[in-house]
Amino acid sequence: MFGTAGLRIFCVEEEHEDKTVVEVLKEENNDVQLLEEFEGALIGIQRIHDQPPVAAYDYYECIRILEDDGLEYWQALECFQGIISNISGDHRPVFIELQEVG
C-alpha cells in the first residue's frame, strides 16, 4: 500500500509543512473531489500549470480496497471502472497505475 489519508506533504514551502495531502488539497482547491471510500489509496496531488490541484489515487490500491470489501478481483475491477466512469468535472481525481521499475 502506497498511500493513506494521513500522508504528509514533503515540501520546501513553509505554508505546507506538516500538512496532510487532504489538508493541502482542500486549502488550494475548494471544489476538489475526494473519494472517502478510497482514502487509503490516496498517494498525492496532481499539479498541472494553470489548473487547480486534484487528488491522485493509486489505481490498483482502489481495486484492492474493493476486494477487501469482499469482491472478487474481476468484480472489483468492473465496479471500480464503473465508479471512475461516473466521475465528472474539472476537479475530478486522477488514478495512477503504479508499476515496479526494474
* Tens digit of each residue's pLDDT (9 = 90 or more) over 41-95: 999 999 999 899 999 999 999 999 999 999 999 999 999 999 999 999 999 999 9
9 within a domain of the structure (yes/no): no
CA proximity to 2, closest of 84, 62, 70, 67: 62
**Number of domains forming the structure of the chain:** 1
Other CB atoms closer than 10 Å to residue 101's CB: what's the count? 4
37 within a domain of the structure (yes/no): yes
64 within a domain of the structure (yes/no): yes
39 within a domain of the structure (yes/no): yes
pTM of this prediction exceeds 0.85: no
| Structural domain span for residue 31 | 14-96
CA proximity to 34, closest of 49, 19, 21, 16: 21
7 within a domain of the structure (yes/no): no
